[in-house]
């Protein structure tokens, strides 16, 4: 992505600059794509500061820098959002925003507005990531043209995949999966995780993978381990838990982070065998990149390969942490371009 100043008169798109958005449960990220691959005016707005997505979108479009680039207005846009998108009406899973796509399009003056699941968009970005925008953890070698898997923990747990398409015997690009795999039932792998699951059942009727592999999930693991170890629980949130773990201040907090990483390995391995993702498993979301080297030396990769008779199968599949700062913009841009080309 590049970010050189651009005026509406020299935009590389016939319809002018395009709006791109990546909306999660905590933050809404907006940008303008002024020409293929040239993305600028990136702004991150806190979802809690706005009553609706339309309000956040209008606030972004009203920024002086955005108005200077947009000129007369934006007519084409694409939004990646953290929940299922199965029709016109969208209700967010981890935030209170809800809206009609058509009403949002009309209210904000778009001719074309595409709204897709955020991990569908992130999956669409995977073929475009450079070696500098991802970091391999463990062994394995990606097979060209094979399916790719994607997971990512943040406000929730996103899951998707990218499947190679064929048309009349020729390469036909990729198909991104619309998945809600973060809500599969959690599967413990050892007695400690059984105890953690039993604790979680005191709070939730159904304990999904997302209950643990998310920001609030790390807090849930902390509460469960305090109960399991019989130690006093402090009123601390995920940033403090992670800080104490990374700074070596708390063995308990470090166990929380280690447990999170291993649980994520289970889910990643499940995805690998489910999709036959021999092109690799990619890890996005906001949490893992922040763990840095602590994640690399965790039990993630060992747990990922811990599949009995399929250990060697998974050992050949590489795992990558996505290090690109705004990869979903790349994916949602590709989806919008495909939609406009087929219109």
**181 appears as a binding residue in the annotation:** no
Summary mean pLDDT of the chain: 92
- The DSSP code for 208 is B
Residue 73 three-state SS:
coil
Residue 12's domain comprises 8-124+326-342
148 within domain boundaries: yes
- Same domain, yes or no, for 73 and 184? no
Tell me: do 315 and 338 sit in the same domain. Answer: no
Task: Tell whether the model's pLDDT for residue 325 goes beyond 90.
Answer: no
Q: Rounded mean pLDDT of 108-125? A: 92
Answer yes or no: is 48 within a domain. Answer: yes
Q: Are 182 and 159 in contact (CB under 8 A)?
A: yes
The residue to which tokens 């693991």 are assigned: 221
Same domain, 184 and 283: yes
22 marked among binding-site residues: yes
CA distance 117 to 113: 14
- Residue 177 and residue 243 in one domain: yes
Please tell me whether residues 292 and 202 are part of one structural domain. yes
Instruction: Looking at the structure, tell me whether residues 82 and 168 fall in a common domain.
Output: no
Determine whether the annotation assigns residue 257 to a binding site.
no
Sorting pLDDT into bands at 50, 70 and 90, what band is 77? Answer: very high
Q: Residue 82 and residue 92: Cα distance in Å, rounded? A: 7
Contact 151, 159 (CB under 8 A): yes
**Average pLDDT estimate for 22-50:** 94
Q: Are residues 43 and 173 located together in one domain of the fold?
A: no
| CATH code where residue 91 lies | 3.30.420.40
> Do 332 and 293 share a structural domain?
no
pTM (two decimals): 0.85
The two tokens of residue 235 are: 């009123």
Q: Is 21 annotated as a binding residue?
A: yes
Residues 72 and 215 in one domain: no
Q: Are residues 86 and 232 in the same domain?
A: no
18-22, 267-271, 306-310, 331-335: segment of lowest average pLDDT: 331-335
Of 331, 342, 329, residue with least CA distance to 33:
329
Residue 1 in this model has a pLDDT that exceeds 60: no
Closest CA to 105 of 78, 144, 133, 70: 78
> Which tokens hold the place of 103?
């009403």
CA distance 246 to 257: 9
Do 30 and 168 belong to one domain?
no
Q: What is the pLDDT of residues 150-205, one digit of tens each?
A: 999 998 999 999 999 865 454 568 888 888 899 999 999 999 999 999 999 999 99
Q: For the chain, how many structural domains are there in total?
A: 2
Q: Is residue 9 predicted with pLDDT exceeding 80?
A: no
Confidence band of 3 (pLDDT split at 50, 70, 90): very low
What strand order describes the sheet that includes 170-176?
134-137, 319-322, 281-284, 148-153, 157-167, 170-176
Strand (E) or helix (H) holding 57: helix 53-61
Q: Is 184 annotated as a binding residue?
A: no
Is residue 203 located within the same domain as residue 260?
yes
The pLDDT score that the predictor gives to residue 93 is: 81
Q: Is 12 labelled as part of a ligand binding site?
A: no
């Amino acid at each position: 992505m590049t970010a050189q100043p651009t005026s509406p008169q020299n935009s590389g798109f016939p319809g002018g600059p395009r709006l791109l958005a990546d909306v999660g449960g905590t933050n809404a990220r907006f940008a303008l794509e002024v020409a293929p691959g040239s993305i600028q005016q990136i702004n991150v707005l806190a979802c809690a500061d706005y009553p609706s997505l339309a309000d956040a979108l209008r606030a972004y479009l009203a920024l002086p820098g955005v108005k200077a680039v947009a000129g007369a207005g934006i007519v084409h846009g694409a939004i990646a959002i953290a929940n299922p998108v199965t029709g016109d009406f969208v209700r967010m899973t981890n935030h209170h925003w809800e809206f009609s796509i058509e009403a949002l399009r009309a209210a904000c003056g778009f001719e074309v507005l595409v709204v897709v699941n955020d991990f569908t968009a992130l999956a669409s970005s995977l073929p475009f990531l450079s070696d500098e925008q991802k970091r391999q953890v463990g062994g394995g070698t990606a097979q060209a043209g094979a399916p790719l898997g994607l997971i990512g923990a943040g406000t929730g747990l996103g899951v998707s995949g990218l499947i190679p398409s064929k048309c009349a015997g020729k390469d036909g690009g990729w198909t991104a999966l619309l998945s809600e795999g973060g809500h599969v039932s959690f599967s413990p792998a050892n007695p400690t995780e059984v105890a953690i699951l039993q604790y979680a059942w005191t709070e939730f009727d159904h304990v999904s993978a997302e209950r643990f592999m998310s920001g609030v999930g790390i807090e849930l693991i902390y509460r469960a381990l305090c109960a399991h170890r019989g130690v006093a629980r402090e009123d601390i949130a995920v940033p403090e838990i992670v800080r104490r773990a990374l700074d070596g201040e708390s063995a308990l907090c470090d166990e929380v982070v280690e447990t999170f990483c291993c649980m994520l390995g289970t889910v990643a391995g499940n995805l690998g065998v489910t999709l036959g993702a021999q092109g690799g498993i990619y890890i996005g979301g906001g949490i893992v990149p922040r763990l840095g080297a602590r994640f690399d030396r965790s039990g993630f990769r060992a747990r990922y390969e811990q599949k009995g008779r399929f250990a060697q199968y998974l050992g050949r599949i590489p795992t990558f942490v996505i290090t690109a700062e705004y990869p979903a913009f790349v994916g949602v841009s590709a989806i919008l371009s495909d939609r406009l080309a087929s219109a």
